[in-house]
Amino acid sequence: MVISARVHYACLAMLELAMRSGEASDDSSPVAIREITDRHNIPGPFLVQILRTLRTAGWVQSVRGSQGGYRLSVDPAKITLLDIAEAIGCQESSARATPSTPLDEMLGEHWDEAAAASRRVLGEARLSDILERCRHGDASMFYI
């Protein structure tokens, strides 16, 4: 699981949308790309590309025309960082050829297990939890 800038930007955008989705209870005000890029220093046309992918994956809805923009299409408590990373297309590093020797096979299992371990971590990180912790200002939650 490689965390590219693309994935990082995608998660920032999703978190931003999640933050805004709670504000207006009528859910009628989409967030413009411009607002996201301004706040998070993301290159504009690059974010366009990323949001397109997220829309195809079904995580966000787009509203065209003036006053248009993006909004989440699902509950922030139902999306994890892993979901986003997979939507962006983090290719698994376990796309290896069939092992040629027992040693080769055993090594491959270790790579798979290492990848699974990081996926497990990201699969437990829900957007809603991250926002909640951010509001309470408790960064560094891992360094207990």
Residues found near a copy of itself in the complex (CB under 8 A)? 1-3, 8, 11-12, 15-16, 39-41, 81, 93, 96, 100-107, 109-122, 125, 130, 133-134, 137, 139-142
> What residue 25 binds from DNA, a copy of itself, none (CB within 5 to 8 A, per partner kind)?
none
Short-list 47, 38, 45, CA closest to 8: 47
Element (H, E) at 18: helix 5-21
Residues 85 and 26: their CA atoms lie apart, in Å, by 29
Cα dihedral 133, 138, 141, 144 sign: negative
6 binds, among a copy of itself, DNA, none (CB under 5 to 8 A by kind): DNA
Question: Where do contacts with DNA occur on this chain (CB under 7 A)?
Answer: 2, 4-6, 9, 30-34, 43-46, 48-49, 51-52, 55, 62-70, 91
